[in-house]
Structure 1
Amino acid sequence: MPYTPDEILDPEIVNELLEVGDAEFLQDLFETYIEDAHEKIQGMTQAMESGNAQQLGRLAHTFKGASGNIGAIELSKIAEKLQQMGYNDQLDGVEAVVNDLKELYKLVETTMQNKLQELR
C-alpha cells in the first residue's frame, strides 16, 4: 500500500515538535524513537512467533503511542491493529500485519533520517 510522505511522517506534528524544542531536541527524540522501535519490533516478532498474543498486544500498545507522538500516524494505526489482535488473542493473520508494520517502519525511519539531514 503506497503512502504519501505526509502519511509516513506528519509534517504538522514534526513542526510542533520543533516549536517545543529545537533541531537538537528533534534529533534526540528521533534517535531515541529509532532505538526503541527496533527493540519493540523485534519483541513483537518474537511474541508473534511464540504465540504470546498478550505480549504482542502490550508491545504494540507502547509502539502505537510512541509512533503517534513523533508523527508516524499510519504506523500508529497499524500498531493499534496489532494491539487489538494481541489483546483479543487473535493471532490469525497477525504475520501479515507485522510485515506491514515492518515495511512502513522502514519508510518512517528513512523519512526521519532525511528530516534530520535537512536540519543539519
Structure 2
Amino acid sequence: MADKHLDPDVLSALREVMEDEFSTLVDTFLADCEERLQLLRQADSAAQLTEIAHSFKGSSSNMGAIRLAESCGKLEQDAKTLPAADIDQLIGEIESEFAIVRPLYESERQRSPAAS
C-alpha cells in the first residue's frame, strides 16, 4: 500500500543522505504538513490557497508523498477557478491523504537506524 502513497526510491535516497537526521526530517515534515493544512483551511483568497498549495506540493514531492503532492498540485492549479465547495472538497482530499501517509512516515521513521 505504501508504494501508492510514498515513493520508496525517494525515501531510500533521503534515508541515505540524512542518515541519523532522517527521523528529525520526518518529524519536521509531519509538523509542517499539519501547519499547512491549517493554513489551507484558514486561507481567505485564491492567491493564498495557491501559494500554500504550491509550497505544500513542493515539500510533499521532496519527501516522496506522491498522491499528497498531486492533490496539492491540483489545488494550486485550480484554486482561482473552482467554486468554494470544490475547493473544500480538494482540501478534504489533501487532509485524507495526509491521514494515510502520516502513519506510513511514522513507521518509516521507526525503521531509521537512529530510532533503534
Structure 2 length as normaliser, TM-score? 0.89
Corresponding position: 1:14 with 2:30 = no
Q: Determine the structure 2 residue equivalent to 1:28.
A: 24
Count of residues in correspondence between the two structures: 112
Deviations along 1:16-38, one digit per CA (max 9) or x if unpaired, are 1112121x221111111111111
Whole-angstrom CA distance in 2 between matches of 1:101 and 1:44: 10
Gaps of 5+ in 2: none
CA-atom RMSD in angstroms: 1.3
Gaps of 5+ in 1: none
Whole-angstrom CA distance in 1 between matches of 2:81 and 2:25: 32
Whole-angstrom CA distance in 2 between matches of 1:111 and 1:14: 11
Whole-angstrom CA distance in 2 between matches of 1:91 and 1:85: 9
Structure 1 length as normaliser, TM-score? 0.87
The 1:57–1:91 alpha-carbon spacing in structure 2 relative to 1, beyond 3 Å, is: farther
Q: Percent identity?
A: 29
Q: Quick one: higher RCO (CA 8 Å, sep 6+), 1 or 2?
A: 2
